[in-house]
Amino acid sequence: MEALNDPAIRTLLAQRLLAHYQHHGRDLPWRHTHDPYRIWLAEIMLQQTGVKSVAPYYQRFLNRFPTLADLAKAPLEAVLSLWQGLGYYRRARHLHAAAQQMMHDHQGTLPDQYDRLLRLPGIGPSTAGAILAIAFGQDHAILDGNVQRVLARLLALEMPPDSTSGKKRLWEVARLLTPTGQAGFYAQAIMDLGAAVCRPRQPDCPVCPWSFWCQANAFGRPEAYPVTKSRVAKPHKYQFNALIIRPDGTLLLLPNDHSELLSGLWHPPGSEFVLSPTPPDPEVVRQWVMQELDLNVALPVMLAPVHHIFTHFRLTVHPMLCLWQSGEMAATTPHRWIDPINDQTTPIATLHRKVLQIISNRQKAPS
């Protein structure tokens, strides 16, 4: 888009966007502060998650961990417990690790230098730019998912934003359009534009302050952008979970220490992922429990399957209800027995909360 080479056009675009934001900007809790800790927390939570989902978590998190020092000294399990339901748990682990690193290397404060921010877990170029622009008033551009969509449509970019050439072009334009001295307001304004106006579906082009210059709008095909790579179908994987229940109603959980996907969370014992959709044989599950856990259970009962979608694959879990008969877990094996219906403190992924909900539904069902 050659018009962006004209400084006057760039200034006009910034002015139009900031005026729109002044009148239509969303009232969000993290926009009432310049505290770098709170802004960093919001930016991490907003990675791959919408505002409506984040807002209640953000406030609960601050109630529990009002300062960076409080977060750093908390056990990881407490952090993961508060994060339950927000998804992408790696963000929580990175948040905790970064807080500890800042206490150790930066006197308990967020660095105000770009390269130092990038060395912290969970902070990439766009997040670093947002923190420096909003919290410290520095002139840095951002390029989160909403901004990518806005700029790809503005340019009618014929390259996927996540391609090397596409990302390079979008960063060039993002930096070019960010107004000197107003980067923080501009960052929030363009994120709002993507979230509320230039939506993935049914963009509200008539109210967009950039509609006159938007090439995708001029072509009458805004939803055709951003261009996407051809998507390969997500593989469908399967596993069983052994829901081992003692006579007192408690359920066995193990820590997830081996899988990066849900590291730090607790889950029912279960098989490795397989590609075969064939449901497990109850006798095979009973033998598996004996061999893996040294526990004797009655012949398992298969419950309704649970379906879940991860970023890179789909998963179907076959819950197998196993009534404990004898045996004890080895004291050296990390484990815990919880109330599967009322426990709300153990950090458990949404997937396994769904599995546990089946037990609750089964007990509440009329006989």
**Alpha-helical regions (H) of the chain:** 7-24, 36-45, 51-64, 68-73, 76-83, 90-105, 114-118, 125-136, 145-155, 164-177, 183-192, 215-218, 282-293, 350-364
Catalytic annotation present for 43: yes
What is the rounded CA–CA span in Å between residue 197 and residue 201?
A: 10
Task: Please report how the helices 183-192 and 7-24 are oriented relative to each other, as an axis angle in degrees rounded to 10.
Answer: 70
322 burial via Cβ count (<10 Å: 0-12, 13-18, 19+): buried
How close are the terminal C-alpha atoms of the chain, in Å?
Answer: 68
Residue type, 349: A
Catalytic residue among 43, 260, 283, 328: 43
Q: Which residue has the tokens 């593989």?
A: 235
Torsion of CA 59, 64, 65, 67, to 10 degrees: 80
SS3 of residue 197 by DSSP: helix
Using alpha carbons, select from 319, 321, 236 the residue that is nearest to residue 277.
236
Phi-psi region of 200 (alpha: psi -120 to 50; beta: other; left: phi over 0): alpha
Structural element, H or E, at residue 42: helix 36-45
Residue 185: half-sphere exposure toward Cβ, Cα within 13 Å: 15
Catalytic residues: 43
